[in-house]
Structure 1
Amino acid sequence: MSTLDQDLASQIERLRAEGCEIIRSEKVSGASRDGRGELEIVLQFLRSGDELVVARLDRLGRDTRDVLNIIHECESRGAFVTVLDPHVTTRGEMGHVILTVLGMVAQMERRFIKERQKDGIERAKASGRYLGGKRRIDRHVVRELLAQGQSVAAAARTLGCSRMQIYRIIGEAPPAV
């Protein structure tokens, strides 16, 4: 069981302990709302008097604007938002202020993480230790499929990737012999 799975299990346990009856989860970054289908479903089903409960603010979003937009959407439906860690709710005016500040802190923390990551990559590159990300698609297999007459779309379907990835591989310099 991975750390992410353990974290999810502890969050679910905490939500159940708080009396949450319906729990939805997704394993995507909270950095933006793109691809967050479960969040969209929850927001669509919220009704007046409902409460959206999240274990931590960063589970709701890491961008202040997104967090505030989500809270606004909940409130426009007559629902409340409660964050368990630290325990803050939008049921009172002070909760809005605290959530706004916490959202700003979460966004700032995300920027710091990205800066540290960028600095680490630059140091690793300078010392010759950075090899880049792991390649997910075997370039040789792509070239073989195309040489056999498969279209780019067919090769992408076969490999379970996008056509754009195939086009990028086609555009790469041929391997050194």
Structure 2
Amino acid sequence: MAHIGYARVSSRTQDLTIQTTALTGAGCEKIFAEKISGTRTDGRKELSRMLDYVREGDVLVCTKLDRLARSLPDLLKITETLEQKGVQLRCLDQAIDTTTPEGRMTYQILGAVAEFETSIRKARQREGIDAALAKGDDSPFKGRPPSIKPEEVAAAVEKHGNKAAAARALGISRDSVYRILREAQTTP
């Protein structure tokens, strides 16, 4: 029986040291660690490597459930994979042990709470962005200023005969040509 650790932080600027130290202290012989959002289901290469690596009788150790997954469906999928492989789960900060029915229930409840917290955080973030956008020109979300004027786009379309050729000549996408011309028509 081996103790295998999994550590994750959401962004490249965050540090994994606290988690890896706790996992080492819990007796983990090997630790898989990565810096990637837990809400992403793709690209979590270390999680995939760890799930391939663990064997029957191993114990997967993480510091918290939200380090393993942020959505209940993702958590249940990981749990199913672990169960099929005969691997137990231990969460250090939440005292979860899936070898018992109570531990499995607690695991699922905390997974649902983690998903709820993520939803609340996203809603608050959206409210903040909407409030900033409502400020108008003082908003940090107004985007960068246009790099090309609608007159230049219209002249390029006229010169090259169509929007696709104009886009190539200007070094912008065809969608940008359409958007710039559309915005120019709606702006008084």
- Superposition map of 1:1-177 within 5 A: 4-5=14-15, 8-128=16-136, 129-132=138-141, 147=169, 172-173=179-180
CA distance in 2, matches of 1:168, 1:71: 43
Name the larger-Rg structure.
2
Task: Return the TM-score normalized by structure 2.
Answer: 0.70
Runs of 5+ unmatched residues, structure 1: 141-145, 153-165
The count of corresponding residues between Structure 1 and Structure 2 is 153
| Correspondence for 1:161 | none
Q: Is the 8 A contact 1:82 1:88 kept in 2?
A: yes
Runs of 4 or more, structure 1, over 6 Å off, are none
Task: Return the TM-score normalized by structure 1.
Answer: 0.74
Structure (1 or 2) with the greater strand fraction: 2
Runs of 5+ unmatched residues, structure 2: 1-11, 149-167
CA distance in 1, matches of 2:67, 2:93: 10
Q: Is the 8 A contact 2:133 2:141 kept in 1?
A: no
Q: Over aligned residues, Cα RMSD in angstroms?
A: 2.9
CA distance in 2, matches of 1:62, 1:103: 7
Cα pair distance change 1:44/1:118, threshold 3 Å: same
Corresponding residue SS for 1:82: strand
Percentage identity across paired residues of the two chains: 37
